[in-house]
Amino acid sequence: MEIVSDPTRPVPAAGPAAAAAPREWISGIGVLDKASVLLEIVERAPAPLSELVTRSGLSRPTVHRIAVALERLGLLARDFRGRFVLGPRLGSMSVEARYDRLAQASGPVLADLHARTGLDARILRRRGRTQICVATCAEGALGPDGAERVPVGMSRPASAGPVALVLLAWQEPEEIHQGLRGARFTAAHLAQVRRRGWARGSDVMQPGDTAFAVPVRGGDDRVVAALSVSGPTGRMDALPGRWLGATVFDAAAALADALHRAHATPSTPPAA
């Protein structure tokens, strides 16, 4: 299996030196506003109780009481290191909204990438132990039976292939540990992908093709999807490797820029 990767992502500021959490939403109801502050902090990065206290400016007993209550409601949860993270109720809504933006922003990027390379271009994301196609641009996308070769929504196990490697390589250690169970690659393969920034190998979405995949980073700089180009091995091999890599990375950067802009634009709260 041929694999490759990029620079380590920046680590978000944390601890006493971190800036106080911005307060974008104010209701005028004390306990709700305090809960909102804690959610804003955790939305940016996982945080232990001590960091929630430092960044919120609230007393430790108050932070502990509200954080535990939010955890009981499923609005916060804790990772394997005991840090607070978005809970399943908020997490699922946040993830789906992010991927909606991803699908909307990807159309022009995929069309340009397909036009420049002549290869199928796709955006895929990870859900549980599967990889799912969320957007695609391909010429002659219909198979012999008249059905799309790789339609939006098509899923395959995230246990093999370059896309699976890219989607797992930058996740939290606990998720990586779980993702390696039953996988056809190892932690060493994932480390190599992180160092080089990309992965290449057999395309599990379209058997017989070769795929080249790179990470797509969201507004918080976390890897939220994989950008993949694929085609018959002979066609892939005929393209200059450096040119292909640069072209796909440029497309991923354009998509990341669009997601960063969307992330930086605050939502307007609905009118009362």
Q: How far apart are CA 11 and CA 33, in angstroms?
A: 27
Residue 13 contacts residue 26 (beta carbons within 8 Å) = no
Write out pLDDT tens, residues 244-270: 999 999 999 999 998 877 666 554 444
80 with 96, same domain? Answer: no
Position with higher pLDDT, 86 vs 238: 238
CATH of the domain at 171: 3.30.450.40
Q: Give residue 219's domain range.
A: 91-264
Q: Are residues 116 and 225 in the same domain?
A: yes
pLDDT of residue 153: 78
Residue 25 binned pLDDT confidence (cut-offs 50, 70, 90): low
Distance set, CA 218 to CA 33, 80, 114, 151 (Å)? 27, 23, 22, 23
In a domain, 69, yes or no: yes
Confidence (pLDDT) at 122 = 95
Same domain, 136 and 43: no
Q: Indicate whether 40 and 111 sit together in one domain.
A: no
Q: What is the pTM of this model?
A: 0.62
Q: Are residues 239 and 112 in the same domain?
A: yes
211 vs 119, 207, 223, CA distance in Å? 9, 10, 18
| 108 in the same domain as 64 | no
Res. 100: pLDDT tops 90: no
Give the domain-ending residue among 62, 86, 110: 86
Q: What percent of the chain has pLDDT over 70?
A: 78
Domain boundary among 86, 111, 130: 86
Report pLDDT for 69: 95
What residue type is assigned to position 102 of the chain?
L
Does any domain span residue 241?
Answer: yes
Do both 112 and 238 map to the same domain?
yes
Q: In this structure, are 101 and 221 located in the same domain?
A: yes
Short-list 220, 209, 93, 222, CA closest to 156? 209
Verify that 44 and 141 share a domain, yes or no.
no
Tell whether 175 and 44 lie within a shared domain.
Answer: no
Q: Please spell the DSSP secondary structure of 70-119, one letter per residue.
A: HHHTTSEEE-TTS-EEE-HHHHHHHHHHHHHHHHHHHHHHHHHHHHHH-S
Shared-domain flag, residues 169 and 189: yes
Q: Is the distance from CB of 141 to CB of 119 less than 8 angstroms? A: no
Query: What CATH number does the domain containing 61 carry?
Result: 1.10.10.10
